[in-house]
Amino acid sequence: MNNPFTRRSLIASSLAAAPAALLAGCTLPGAAAPATGPKSAIGPRRSNPIGVSTYSFWGFSGEPPPVAHCLERAHAMGFDGLELLEKQMLKEMEGNEAGFLRKLKHRALSLGMPLYAMSTHQDFVDPSAKERDDNVKITTTSLERAYQLGIPVIRVNTGRWNRVDFDTLMTQKGYEAPLDGHTEEEAFGWVIEAFQKLIPEAEKRGVVMALENHWGLGLTPQGVLRIVKAVNSPWLGVTLDTGCFLADPYDRLEMLAPHTTYMQAKTYPGGGKWYTLDLDYPRIARIMKKANYQGWISLEMEGKEDPETAVPKSLELLRGVFGA
C-alpha cells in the first residue's frame, strides 16, 4: 500500500515547522507587538455593588411610595440591589404579611435584584426593663422578616433618651443629655445586654445585625465600637453611615471602616431636610479601599430634589468613585 505519510516526509515537515514554532509568540526587533485581546472578564470584582434604600424615593413627606414601586425604579435606574426601610413596609403588610413578603421576594428574584439589607428601628436606651425587652421582641420580629426575605443583614440602632423630638435633636447635632437620675454608663449596659439577648435569634436565622453610627449611644465611633466589642459576636457588626457624623467626619469614618458590615452613603441634591453635608466621596472611597471593604454601598438620598432626577444623579456619583 502506498502511504503518503512516510517516515521521511514526516521528519522533513517537522524540521520545516520548527523555526516557526520557536518564533511563535516572539516579537522580532523593530516589529510591531502583537495585538492584545479584550481584558479578561475573569477575576476579582472590580467595584463595590451599589444599591439604594427604598426611603430614597420617599423624602419623608406624605405617604411613602409602595415598596414594589421602589424596587421597579431601582431596577430601571441600574442599581445592583435594594435596601428596605422596614418602617416603610408596615402599612402595606397589614393583614397579609406573609403574602406581602413572598410576593416581594419573588419579584426581586425575577428582576435579578438582591434584597441585601433592611433598616430597622429599636430603642434600648430606656430605664424600663420591660420596654427594653419589648424592643428585643420587636427586633426579633425584624430578624424573622429579613430571614423570610433572604436578607442577610439588618441595620440596628441603640435608641436614644427621647427628651426632645427629632427636629430638635437635629438642631442639637444628635446630642441629648441622659434622663434625670440616669447616666450614659448605665445606658451602655442596657444596650449591650439587649444585643446579647438578640445574638441567638440572629444566629438562628443567619441574619447579621449591624449597629449604625446614628443618634443615642451610636453618636460617636467610640460608642459604636464599645458596644460591638463588648457583645463580641460575628452576628453584630457595624453599619457605616456617611451622613451621621455632622462635623469632621473623615477620621471618624476611618475608625469604623475596618469593622464595617455594610455602608450607607448619604447624598443631598437640592439640599437636605435637616442638614446638608458636603461629603468628599473620593476621600471616603479611599478610606474604604484602605480598609479592604468589599461590601454594599447603599444610597440614602436625603435631598429635596425630585427622586426621579436626584437618585440617578447620586448613583452616577457613587459609581464614579466606588467603581474605580
Q: Per-residue pLDDT tens for 136-181? A: 999 999 999 999 999 999 999 999 999 999 888 888 888 899 999 9
Span of 16-30, 58-72, 212-226, 262-276 with lowest mean pLDDT: 16-30
Q: Any residues with CB less than 8 A from the CB of 60 and at least 6 apart, and which?
A: 273
- Residue-range domains of the chain with CATH: 53-322 (3.20.20.150)
Q: Any residues with CB less than 8 A from the CB of 131 and at least 6 apart, and which?
A: 123
**C-beta separation of 152 from 202 below 8 A:** no
Confidence tier at 17 by pLDDT (50, 70, 90) = very low
- The SS3 assignment for 211 reads strand
Query: How far lies 291's CA from each of 243, 261, 265, 287, in Å?
Result: 19, 12, 16, 6
Q: What percent of the chain has pLDDT over 70?
A: 86
Confidence tier at 271 by pLDDT (50, 70, 90) = very high
- The SS3 assignment for 310 reads helix
pLDDT digits (tens, 9 = 90+) for 107-135: 999 999 999 999 999 999 999 999 999 99
Record the pTM.
0.86
Say if residue 16's pLDDT is above 90. no
